[in-house]
Structure 1
Amino acid sequence: MDKKVRIYDMKQKEVVNSKDCKRLGYIVDIELDLDEGKLKKIIVPGPAKMLGMFGRDKEYQINWNQIKKIGEDIILVDINEESDLVKSDY
């Protein structure tokens, strides 16, 4: 059976770290490799600064190989928050 999922559908699923069951949030962006035609990373906003009043300056950049399972409602990932939480490029 050929399984397919659209980016819109993936953005509706909550991303959860399987290491500690922490909810990371929802996908806001993706990174594609246009030369190879492959999805490289999903981008999830990092934690809000100071009670959420000053926005976010970091994001989780989660490589495709760190995605363990795409389910009905959630996407399970296996990340190290310290190394995968990086300063946002935008």
Structure 2
Amino acid sequence: MEGMRFSELHCREVINLCDGARLGEVSDLVFDPVCGQITAIVVPGQGGLMGLFSREDCVIPWSCIETLGEDYILVKFRR
């Protein structure tokens, strides 16, 4: 079984198929501590004034991922 490294997901552009919006780039992953599986990807919130007062990170459940492309990740995610 061939796996995927975090470095291969990190910084991939995330695009929401629901509205065509670019959500940002993957900055982190969320794991289930019991089974060790990835449960979500994290995209940083959009920065406010000069990066201050930024919004909360966008945590997208793994089940919302439709496609893992070479340069992008397509998701169906309702905010």
Tell me the amino acid that sits aligned with residue 62 of structure 1.
I
| Structure 1 unaligned regions, length at least 5 | 82-90
Distance change (3 Å), C-alpha of 1:70 and 1:48: same
Tell me the amino acid that sits aligned with residue 6 of structure 2.
I
Distance 1:75 1:47 in 2: 18
Tell me the amino acid that sits aligned with residue 59 of structure 2.
Q
- Taking structure 1 as the reference length, what is the TM-score of the superposition? 0.77
Distance 1:14 1:36 in 2: 27
Identical pairs, percent: 30
* 1:55 Cα deviation after fit: 4.7
- Tell me the secondary structure at the aligned position of residue 41 of structure 2: strand
Q: For residues 4-43 of structure 1, what are the structure 2 equivalents within 5 Å?
A: 4-43=3-42
* 1:3 Cα deviation after fit: 4.8
Matched, 1:77 2:75: yes
- Taking structure 2 as the reference length, what is the TM-score of the superposition? 0.86
- Tell me the secondary structure at the aligned position of residue 8 of structure 1: helix
* 1:57 Cα deviation after fit: 3.3
Tell me the amino acid that sits aligned with residue 57 of structure 1.
R
* 1:49 Cα deviation after fit: 1.5
Aligned-pair Cα RMSD in Å? 1.6
Distance change (3 Å), C-alpha of 1:57 and 1:12: closer
Tell me the amino acid that sits aligned with residue 46 of structure 1.
G
Tell me the amino acid that sits aligned with residue 40 of structure 2.
K
Report the count of equivalent residues: 79
